[in-house]
Amino acid sequence: MDEHGLFIDGKWETPTGAKRFTTRNPATGEELGSFVSATTKDVERAVSSAAKAFKSWRETPAPKRGQILLRVAEVYKRRKDELGATVTKEMGKILPEGKGDVQEAIDFLEYMSAEGRRLLGETVPSELRNKYCMTLRQPKGVIAAITPWNFPTAIPNWKLAAALISGNTVVFKPASNTSLCGVKVVQAYEEGGLPPGVLNLVTGSGGVVGDALVTDPRVKAVSFTGGTDTGRQVYLKGAEHLKYVHLELGGKNPQIVLNDANLELALDGVLFGAFGSSGQRCTATSRLILQEGIYDKFLGMLLERLKTFKVGNPLDKGVDMGPVASADQEKKVLAYIEVGKKEGAKLRTGGEKLKGGAYDKGYYLAPTVFEAKHGMRITKEEIFGPVLSVMKVKDFEEAVEVANDVNYGLSSSIYTKDVNLSFQAMERLEAGITYINAPTIGAEVQLPFGGVKQTGNGGREAGTTAIEEFTEIKTVFVDFSNRLQKAQIDG
Ligand code: UN1
C-alpha cells in the first residue's frame, strides 16, 4: 500500500511524527493508500505557501494560466481509465460513472482554460464626457477548497480550475475517505507544470484541517461542498472572519411524471437519477411524484425493471449499481429505511443490506422504493443513498406544490409532452436546476450549478458564474478630460 504525503510549496512531504489514516474500497474492504492526518501546523504551512505564491501567480497572464490548466486536462485524458478506476475503487460508483467523474473534470479544465482569454469585465458609458467606466476581475487571494467524496475528481476541479484561472492560489482539502483521488487530482496539476505553492494539498479530518482553513485569516474565501450541517458550521465560522463562503449543500430532488409523459423515457430517467452513484449525488432523484392516471402502471414498470437491476462490484461490466461509499453511509441509509417503515411508508422493494458471497465484504444496499405520503421524513430529509419515495398527486398543480414543499432546491425534473406545462414547471419549480424530459442528474459544466433554499447560500459553481465565486470586482473610472468633472453635479 502506497504512503502519500502532503503537497506543500511544490513538494510532497511527510511531517515528522505524522499520524496516518487509510482509505478502503467500499466494495471489497481492500486498503487503497495511507495518508497524513495533517495538523493545524501543517495547515498553517500550506496557507503560508499559498500566500507566498499568490503575488507571482496573480501577475501571470490569465491566458498563460489557462495553458497550464489545458496541460492538466491532457494529463487527466491520458490517465482517464486509471483515474476513473481509482474513483470507482475509492467511493464505489460504477466504472462508467467513475470515468464520467474524470471527464467532468476534463470538460471543466478545458472550459476554464479558455476563460483565461476572457475573464470578462464590463465597459459602460459615463454620464460625463471623456471618461471611461469599467470593471475588472481580480483574484481574492488564498482560497480553501473543501470537497466531498461523491465526485472526488469533478468537484475538486470545479473549484481548483475556477480559482486558479482567476489568479488565486489554493489550499485543497479532499474528503478523507477519497484522499487517494485527492492526491491524484493534485499530481496532475504538478505534472501540468503549476508553479510551487499555487496549489497545496492537506489531507485529514474536517474537524482539524477544515476548521484550521476556515479560521485562518489569510484564507480569503472558502468553497465548500458537502452536508448541510457541516456547511452551516463552515458558514458561521467564516462569518466571524467576514470571509466569503460559497456553499453547495444537500438536495431532495423530485422527478415529476405527468399522465401524458413518455413512460419508458421517464422510467430510464428515474432509474439513472435515483440509483446512479447509489443515490449519492447531490442531484440524485429521491422523490418520484406521479400523477394519479399513470401511478399504478408506472410504479409497476419501475418495480419490474428493478427485478433485473444488478448490484455488484462497480468495476464489473453489466453492474447497474455499486455499494454505498462507507460504513457511515450504510448506517445512515439503513436508519432512514427504518424511519420510513415506522412512519408507515409502504416498502415495495429493497430496504435491506445485501448479504452472501462478495456482498459480505462491502457496503451493498438493495435499491429501495417506498410508496410514501408527502410530509413523511423520508420525503423531506436528504438520505443520500439508493432510496426513492414515490408519491401520488392529482394534477400538475399538486405536483408542483409537493415538489416545492421541502427545505432544499438543487435539481428538479418533469416528464410531460405538454409544452405549456413544461414552461410553467421551468418557471415555478423551486430549484437551481430544472430538467424537462430528462433526469435530475447530469448537469453540464458550461452552465451554472447550484441551488436555492438550504441547498446553498446563493452562489453558483461552474458556468461563467464560477469566475464570480473566485474574483473581486474592481470598478475603475478613467477621466481623460484633464479637468475636474463632477458626477451627479455637472451639467
Ligand atoms: C453533485 O452531486 O454534487 O449533475 C454533483 C450531476 C453531476 C454533478 C453532480 N454533473 O449529477
Would the CB of 227 count as within 6 Å of ligand 1?
no
Quick one: which H or E segment has residue 54?
Answer: helix 40-59
* DSSP letters spanning 368-416: EEEE--BTBGGGTS---SSEEEEEEESSHHHHHHHHHSSSEESEEEEE-
Per-residue pLDDT tens digits for 32-57: 999 999 999 999 999 999 999 999 99
368-371 and 411-415 strand pairing? unpaired
Pocket test residue of 153, 158, 281, 445 for ligand 1, highest count of atoms within 8 A of CB: 281
Secondary structure class of 272 (helix, strand, coil)? helix
Query: How far apart are the C-alpha atoms of 74 and 408, rounded to whole Å?
Result: 37
Pocket test residue of 87, 449, 460, 461 for ligand 1, highest count of atoms within 8 A of CB: 449
Atom of ligand 1 nearest to the CA of 444: 10
Q: How many CB atoms are located within 10 Å of the residue 268 CB?
A: 14
| Res 8: pLDDT | 98
Pocket test residue of 111, 151, 158, 434 for ligand 1, highest count of atoms within 8 A of CB: 151
Query: How far apart are the C-alpha atoms of 38 and 14, rounded to whole Å?
Result: 9
**Span from the CA of 178 to the centroid of ligand 1 (angstroms):** 16
| Sole residue written with cell 483521488 | 181
pTM (predicted TM-score): 0.98
* DSSP letters spanning 58-118: HHS-HHHHHHHHHHHHHHHHHTHHHHHHHHHHHH---HHHHHHHHHHHHHHHHHHHHHTTT
Query: How far apart are the C-alpha atoms of 137 and 162, rounded to whole Å?
Result: 13
**For this structure, is 104 an active site residue?**
no
| Res 299: pLDDT | 98
Query: How far apart are the C-alpha atoms of 335 and 250, rounded to whole Å?
Result: 18
Query: How far apart are the C-alpha atoms of 83 and 80, rounded to whole Å?
Result: 5
| Sole residue written with cell 455499494 | 323
Quick one: which H or E segment has residue 235?
Answer: helix 228-240
Would the CB of 150 count as within 6 Å of ligand 1?
yes
Distances (CA, A) of 356 to 113, 312, 359: 48, 12, 6
| Res 1: pLDDT | 83
Per-residue pLDDT tens digits for 190-236: 999 999 999 999 999 999 999 999 999 999 999 999 999 999 999 99
Domains, the chain, in order of start with CATH, read: 2-249+456-476 (3.40.605.10), 253-436 (3.40.309.10)
**For this structure, is 282 an active site residue?**
yes
Query: How far apart are the C-alpha atoms of 206 and 214, rounded to whole Å?
Result: 10
| Res 491: pLDDT | 77
Secondary structure class of 159 (helix, strand, coil)? helix
Query: How far apart are the C-alpha atoms of 176 and 185, rounded to whole Å?
Result: 14
* pLDDT tens-digit profile, the chain (491 residues): 899 999 999 999 999 999 999 999 999 999 999 999 999 999 999 999 999 999 999 999 999 999 999 999 999 999 999 999 999 999 999 999 999 999 999 999 999 999 999 999 999 999 999 999 999 999 999 999 999 999 999 999 999 999 999 999 999 999 999 999 999 999 999 999 999 999 999 999 999 999 999 999 999 999 999 999 999 999 999 999 999 999 999 999 999 999 999 999 999 999 999 999 999 999 999 999 999 999 999 999 999 999 999 999 999 999 999 999 999 999 999 999 999 999 999 999 999 999 999 999 999 999 999 999 999 999 999 999 999 999 999 999 999 999 999 999 999 999 999 999 999 999 999 999 999 999 999 999 999 999 999 999 999 999 989 999 999 999 999 999 999 999 999 97
| Sole residue written with cell 450549478 | 449
Q: Which position among 97, 248, 382, 461 bears the catalytic label?
A: 248
Whether the Cβ atoms of residue 311 and residue 271 lie closer than 8 Å to each other: no
Cα(first)–Cα(last) distance of the chain, in Å? 76
**Span from the CA of 233 to the centroid of ligand 1 (angstroms):** 23
Whether the Cβ atoms of residue 255 and residue 413 lie closer than 8 Å to each other: yes
Look up residue 302 and give its amino acid.
L
Report the length, in residues, of the chain: 491
Residues 276, 352, 180, 139, CA torsion sign: positive
Residue 308, Cβ density class (10 Å: 0-12 exposed, 13-18 middle, ≥19 buried)? exposed
